[in-house]
Every structure is written in C-alpha cells, then in structure tokens.
Structure 1
C-alpha cells in the first residue's frame, strides 16, 4: 500500500496517477479542503505557445530564483510541464482558452480555469480519486515510523499505528499560516516538514518564504488578489494615485514578487497605503468571476473603487529536500509539492510554478516508485545538526496566535540579526509542537544566511554575497 499524506494538487494527482498505474493507494489528510490548492487563484505556468519553450521558461525560473535554483530540477520540471498538463486533460480536466501573463515571466504561459484554477483542479482531482475508489480519509498523522533509514509506517491520531505502508508520500503543504498576515489556510503550519525532520529526513532552504504582494482584507475576509490581475492591466497605487512600484523596479507591477512585497511594505513603513486599481481591466466580471464575487460581497465596484492591499506570507520555497523523483533522504519516503524542496524555486518562486511543480511530481511518481532508491545529495550546502527536545510531557504554552505575530514582526519581509536572535531564543526544536519547531528552523536559517537573496532580505546585510550561493541544510542530531 502507498499512503499519501495530503490532499492538494500534488497529493491527489499522485494518488490518481498511481491508482491508474495499478498501485493500491490511500490518501490521509488532516482536512480534505485545507491547504493552498483549493484557494489558489492564478494558474499553471507551462511553455506551450509557439513563441515559448521549456528553455525560456527555465531561464525565467532561474533568473527569479536568484542563484539558488537546482538547474537539473528546473530543466526537468519545465520540460515535463506539457506532459503533466496533457495527462490532467486526458483525465477529463478542461482549461480555458488562452494564456495569461504573470510577474517574472517573459511570455504568456499561465494556463487557467476561471480565476480560481487551484480550486477547480482540486475539486476535479478529488472527484476523480473518489470515482477510482481511492480512500480519502480525514485523520492527522502524528509520527513517522523509521527503522534503518527506511519508512516502516506511521501513526495517526484516529487510527493509531499504520504498519502496512510500503511507501509514504508527504504532500502536506507549507507553513505560511505561521505568519500573522497570510494568504493560506490554518492547516499550513509545516506539520509535514516537522514529521519528516523528526524522523531523520533532511530539510533545506527554510529561510526562503515568499510574501505575496497583493492580498486584500475586506471586512475581515482575506483574499489573494491573483497575480493575473496585474498581468491583465491592474495597477498598484498609493493614496495619492501614484504608481510607486516603478521607483523600485523598471517592470513596475510585473516585477518579481519579492521586490514588489518589499516595495509595498517599505511604502507602508513610510506611512503610505497601497491599493489595487482594477479600472483598466476590460470584461472584469467575465475574466475574474471569483474576484468579482469577493468584491461584491463587500460592496466594492472594480470600475470605481480602489481595493486596499498589503503583502502577506504566501509560499515556502524550502522544505524536505528531495531529488527529481521526489525521494527524500529516507528510503521509501517521498515529499512532493510545497512540503518539499526540490530546488525548483531557489531563493524565490516564479509565479504559477507551484501548481506546476505539484502536478509534475504527482503525475510522474508512478515512473519512479519501483526504481532503486537514489536519495539526495547535500554537496551544494552546509549541514547543521539539531537536537530535538522531547517535551511531550510538558508542551510549550506559547499559543499559535502569538507565534504568528512574532514571526510576522521578526521573520517577515525585512529581517535583521536582533529580530531573528529574539526568535531563536524563544523557540526551540520541539518534538511535540511542529509550529514551534518549524518556526525555529526558519528563524535559525535566516540568521545563518548573512546576506540578502531572493525573498530573504536582511537590512543588516542588504547585498547578495557570492559565498552564500549554497543551501543551508538541517538534520536531526542522533547521539
């Protein structure tokens, strides 16, 4: 039996692909419609137009990744994008006609389904899984069972020990909800990363957290104002109607996300407000029905009103280190999607490469599950061994909401040693609290990396340093 932990695009596409290939598969997930896929707005970046190519897509990905992309992975994912899309379509999914442009891309290459592509794909894959008879069970995995560096099973809160797992696939998402301002759902607190780390798997790039620049919050309802809005003509302005983003980058609204997030955040620190101006988008209701419905719920008219926005934690570039097969450093334990660090995103993810990564790794998993295990290499970085503290008898009383506030203030868009050191003195590598463990590792990695690169910005080290063109790895210390 192959168990898949998680129910986003990576987990469900892997489950369907494995089932069609003849494997016995079960999906276990803390919350079936939790995670990021059901609320993902933009689309899937793939080179299919006549003036585009996987090579150009790879160049864009590497440029935005700011020196830390794994080039082999980038080539693999961009080349396999068309096959993954064709596979999804062969299962019955239909994209809309045309391609959209998003920030950081040199070509129109974003395939979409309305303006809630992730939600459309999630619902399709979930129904497909159920149609194929794949069990999709809501339960929480609390521990992985590993012996001789090989996965032997896992433990769930509801079912106890599961010991018939030949292979386990982690597809549990990231940890962007560990920040006070976020575009993600409460399930995204890094539990899959914590599970893998405690079991002995190697984590990497934990300091690279992408902040989406344009997140709205009207009457308490948070909503991601999709990147494609800016690709279709939306502008970002201050309270005086000035398009200030060109002061920070010549591409203005279409600059990479890390630059836009810092620009908007820095303007806010100066006392300005930021708004999205949607008035130049033609046929708005038809192009963006989900955004339109959100605005109507809050009595906003896209042809008249400016929509207040701010940056928010959105996506984690790092995670459980894997190769292009999705293999971790533990035999028969795979990690795919946002929980993993394949090296595709480097120091900063190119827009709409996240759904692409999840789909490619999920669809292609059947090709690799019978091959001899290769595992990962750590030759491109430095390994830090961390002793996990067994505090199960007296777990920390630090509430999640306080952690989220601390992370936003000290591990957010602009960092320095004083703030990061504050976190590493409060947090610790807890065995029973994944939110504290993951926050600790992210803060520690951010403190170790004494430079600014991609979406990691240190005001005390504002420049990129060539000596840091390497990864920071973490593994559990075994005495």
Structure 2
C-alpha cells in the first residue's frame, strides 16, 4: 500500500493546478490513466476567457456565462470565477506561461462564440492547452506522478473515502491510501462515436463516484461541439471555435450560409444552437463546411488545425473544411459544493468530471481551462488550511485476481454508436427508453456493486462506459424540457418549472429522489 496526504486521480489542468498550489509540506501522488501529457487539457485548442480589455469587465463575462448556461448556473461561483480570471492569467504570465501578445506587447485577446467582447487569451495560437499543460508540468515537477495507472475502485469506509485501487499495465492491482482523494478524470467524450475527446476520456470518474455512493448531477447536459473535422464518416479532431471568431462562416457546398437567420449572433451563436443547426442539415443529407477564405494568414494563426487538415488531405487553398458536431464537454458530473467536496467525505471532484454549477446547461467557450485553474486553486486553499489527520492505522484492504463470474459485455464501439444514435444531439422519449432498456439488459445495478478486482482493464473500461451511459440516458429521460446542451424534440422548449431543478442520481436511490431544488445558486 502506498500512502500520501493527497491522491489526485487524473492529470489535466485542474489536477496540476491543484498540485501546484498545495503547500510544499503536503505529500501528493498523481495517478494518470495514460501519460501526463495526454488527455483533453493537452488537446484544448481554445483559450482561457478573462475580462482583460479596458472596455470589458468581469461582470460582462459573468452575464455571458449565464446566458450560455441558460441561467441554471451557480451564480455565486460564476461571479467569483469571472472576477478571479484576470488575476489567474496575470499570475501565470508572470511565472512564465507564454501567452500570445499583440505588437504593443499586450495580451492578444480573441473572440469566440457567445462572448460579447474579445477576451480569449491564447498561447501558440490554437495550442493553448498544450502550452498551459507544459507550464503546469514544469511547475509541478516535484510531485510524484504515476503513469499508466487505471483506477477502478474508490475505497470508502464508514462513509469516508480513504483511497483507491488501480491496475498497472500488467494488470496488477495497487492500493493507494490518502487523507484526501480528488477526482480530476475529465469528461465522457469516448462514450460517443463522434467526439473531440482523447482516447482515455470515457467517463471513468462518473462511474467511480457513482459506485462509491456519491451523487452525480445533470448528466443530460452534454455539449456537442459544432465543428469537428469530418472525413469519410470519421472525426479527425477539433476545429476550434476561434476559427469562427476570426471570421469563418458555416456554409453548404453552394455557399449558402446556414446561420444567417437562425440566431442574432449568427455563426458565433451558442454552441448548442450551432450544433443543432448543423445536425439538421446532416439529417437532410447535406454536408456542412467551415468557409475560412476570409481569414488572413490562417496557417500561421491556426498551426495545429492546419497540420490536422493537411494530414487528412483537406485542401486549405479551397477554403472549405468539412465539419460535423461531436461530443465535446460535459456540464454535469459528480455533484460538489462550492469547495469541490462531494457527498462522500474526503472525496473531491474538480475539472470536467465535477458538477460545480459554473457552466449551467451549456459551457461558455474557453471557460473550461479557466474553471480548472479556478477550482484547482480553490481546493488547494481548502486542503492547505485543513489540519493533517493521522491515518497511519488503516483497515486491511483486500485484493484478488480471481474473477467472480464471466460477464457478458458489449463491444465499446456498440456503446458509442448507440449513445450517438439514441442519446446524442437530438433526443426523444422513445429512443431514450429503448436505449435504457438495452443498457439495463447488462444488469447495471449489479455492475455498480460488482467486485472488479478480477476483471481486466479492458473489461473494466466497458463496465464503466455502461454505467456512465446509463446515467446519462436516465438523466436525459428525466429532464422533460430542452435547455442548453440537452435537446428533446418531444419537449422542444425551455420550461420555467425546470429552471431551478437538477437531476440527481445516487446508487440505490434512482427512483423518487431524482429532483432537488437549487437553493443558494439562485439567491439574488
């Protein structure tokens, strides 16, 4: 057994910001499923939103965040995050994080969808995530990072989380014990056949928390990014919203601009509006393109996208990039309070895996890296002021390599295709119920309690995908309205009665207690 003060599961921006901000006398272990430089944070092409311009203000950033989130956001947290954003950027720049600058030396501020002002800070054009991760990796080089370690169980004794079990590349189980256990595992993009997410991002943290008895909330709110590069039926990566911010427009092959009459902000409308519009054209058999011909020096401004297009034989001289919407970001997640504490004592969640309420029903562009930085610091402040407790006496943690029984599991690709078809961009009761019945044929509640010690990493991944897919589908069925990233064609409008409700699921309490009024979040 390996002991630490803080065990962080995941290695993205939120995880590394937490490790960076923890006191140097706190022993930290970071477990990552692949290697520290992989994952969604590293892939992030967009920037970090912060009201830095003279004509801008954090209150404007706050209002834009609420509008994108369809006013279901936790307003207190949004206010605190948008207020802190400029100081977070200035601190990182002072410490050596290289942000793009204008000719006069000031920070270069870009525009993205649903923002009312230029306030997006980039690094290396469309390589912000990669550069910020490199900065944080350097800043946390003294932390112990263990790569290729797949966590498959959170250890909960008498209502307290005391650690986790994980399997290494050889399938051997190791036990990690800690005073504080932090989920920072990212989202669930790989539940879907079309996604911008990294290969390892498949909803593990949601399944881990649910199996441990923690509450999960609003998993129906999933953002589908409007513009993934789409070649011969396959997604090949993200085409950043910043491209539209620079003047690209969505068109059909004949030049028809599809967003002209859909929304006042046209091509910079909120992501759910753009995604649903593109989806409608695709359903009608019409391919949608991103027309980049008005952008000067495209290859210099977007080197990552340029390389991706060239690798997939897209002729940028023609100026048309074929795009499709795909699963991009989870607004729901493991339910936390204002300090990242879950409903299980000593278990925390930060980053995309967490439901903090900041994003509401739909995340505003470039608020994801910001939320990770904000909550990484916030949780570090909490832990730094929490007296260490002596956990030198632990109960015996047993492990076994024996299979309990042979499981009948579907292929990952089948789960992904079904999620895209039945619980994707456009949903309805019939499809959701049909999908729920299929998922429940795999005995989800049994899997949620089933010992995974004897299962392989591959089998555990499928089990986690089934559990998380069931939770998403159940949540989407319960919310009988359309709002933000959740669109029900049988309930196509926002319903006022749902504004202050959230869908909460907890293992063993799925029926009857699914709705809870949001309280402090809507205080004036």
After TM superposition, the score normalised by the length of structure 1 is: 0.92
Q: Which residue of 2 aligns with 1:263?
A: 277
TM-superposed CA distance for 1:85, in Å, is 2.1
Could you tell me whether the CA contact under 8 Å between 1:245 and 1:260 is conserved in 2? yes
- Which 5+ residue runs of structure 2 have no aligned equivalent? 102-107, 388-402, 449-459, 511-524
The CA deviation string for residues 111-162 of structure 1, in whole angstroms up to 9 with x for no partner, is: 10121211111222223322x2533433111101112221111111136353
Query: What are the within-5 Å matches in structure 2 for residues 350-365 of structure 1?
Result: 350-365=364-379
Q: Which residue of 2 aligns with 1:111?
A: 121
TM-superposed CA distance for 1:465, in Å, is 1.0
**Is residue 2:429 matched to residue 1:417?**
yes
TM-superposed CA distance for 1:101, in Å, is 0.3
**Is residue 2:420 matched to residue 1:408?**
yes
User: What is the rounded CA distance, in whole Å, between the counterparts of 1:284 and 1:419 in structure 2?
Assistant: 41
User: What is the rounded CA distance, in whole Å, between the counterparts of 2:248 and 2:323 in structure 1?
Assistant: 13
Q: Which residue of 2 aligns with 1:228?
A: 242
User: What is the rounded CA distance, in whole Å, between the counterparts of 1:411 and 1:425 in structure 2?
Assistant: 13
The CA deviation string for residues 432-472 of structure 1, in whole angstroms up to 9 with x for no partner, is: 51100010010011011111111111111111111112100
Q: Which residue of 2 aligns with 1:171?
A: 184
Query: What are the within-5 Å matches in structure 2 for residues 182-221 of structure 1?
Result: 182-218=195-231
Could you tell me whether the CA contact under 8 Å between 2:215 and 2:334 is conserved in 1? yes
Residue of structure 2 aligned with 1:67, choices 58, 62, 71: 71
Q: Which has the larger radius of gyration?
A: 2
Query: What are the within-5 Å matches in structure 2 for residues 428-447 of structure 1?
Result: 428=440, 429=444, 430-431=447-448, 433-447=463-477
User: What is the rounded CA distance, in whole Å, between the counterparts of 1:478 and 1:290 in structure 2?
Assistant: 45
Q: Which residue of 2 aligns with 1:472?
A: 503
User: What is the rounded CA distance, in whole Å, between the counterparts of 2:205 and 2:347 in structure 1?
Assistant: 12
User: What is the rounded CA distance, in whole Å, between the counterparts of 1:372 and 1:424 in structure 2?
Assistant: 42
Going from structure 1 to structure 2, the CA distance change for 1:392 and 1:90 (only over 3 Å counts) comes to farther
The CA deviation string for residues 80-123 of structure 1, in whole angstroms up to 9 with x for no partner, is: 21232233334321211110000010011111012121111122
User: What is the rounded CA distance, in whole Å, between the counterparts of 1:221 and 1:197 in structure 2?
Assistant: 30
Residue of structure 2 aligned with 1:40, choices 37, 44, 65: 44
User: What is the rounded CA distance, in whole Å, between the counterparts of 1:354 and 1:466 in structure 2?
Assistant: 27
Q: Which residue of 1 aligns with 2:438?
A: 426
Residue of structure 2 aligned with 1:146, choices 156, 160, 163: 156
Please, what is the CA RMSD of the aligned residues? 1.9
After TM superposition, the runs of 4+ consecutive aligned structure 1 residues lying more than 4 A away are: 370-373
Going from structure 1 to structure 2, the CA distance change for 1:67 and 1:21 (only over 3 Å counts) comes to same
User: What is the rounded CA distance, in whole Å, between the counterparts of 1:90 and 1:150 in structure 2?
Assistant: 39
- Which 5+ residue runs of structure 1 have no aligned equivalent? 374-390
Residue of structure 1 aligned with 2:145, choices 122, 135, 144: 135
SS in 2 for 1:142: strand
SS in 2 for 1:34: coil
**Is residue 2:126 matched to residue 1:96?**
no
After TM superposition, the score normalised by the length of structure 2 is: 0.84
User: What is the rounded CA distance, in whole Å, between the counterparts of 1:44 and 1:412 in structure 2?
Assistant: 27
Residue of structure 1 aligned with 2:293, choices 279, 284, 291: 279
Going from structure 1 to structure 2, the CA distance change for 1:282 and 1:460 (only over 3 Å counts) comes to same
Could you tell me whether the CA contact under 8 Å between 1:278 and 1:303 is conserved in 2? no
**Is residue 2:173 matched to residue 1:160?**
yes
**Is residue 2:42 matched to residue 1:31?**
no
User: What is the rounded CA distance, in whole Å, between the counterparts of 1:74 and 1:178 in structure 2?
Assistant: 28
Could you tell me whether the CA contact under 8 Å between 2:19 and 2:143 is conserved in 1? no
Query: What are the within-5 Å matches in structure 2 for residues 446-457 of structure 1?
Result: 446-457=476-487
Could you tell me whether the CA contact under 8 Å between 1:87 and 1:363 is conserved in 2? no
SS in 1 for 2:109: coil
Could you tell me whether the CA contact under 8 Å between 1:176 and 1:209 is conserved in 2? no
Aligned residues: 460
User: What is the rounded CA distance, in whole Å, between the counterparts of 1:478 and 1:75 in structure 2?
Assistant: 33
Query: What are the within-5 Å matches in structure 2 for residues 44-63 of structure 1?
Result: 44-63=48-67
Residue of structure 2 aligned with 1:85, choices 72, 85, 89: 89
- Of residues 272-281 and 133-142 in structure 1, the stretch that sits farther from structure 2 once superposed is 133-142
Residue of structure 1 aligned with 2:352, choices 335, 338, 351: 338
User: What is the rounded CA distance, in whole Å, between the counterparts of 1:325 and 1:91 in structure 2?
Assistant: 25
TM-superposed CA distance for 1:197, in Å, is 1.1
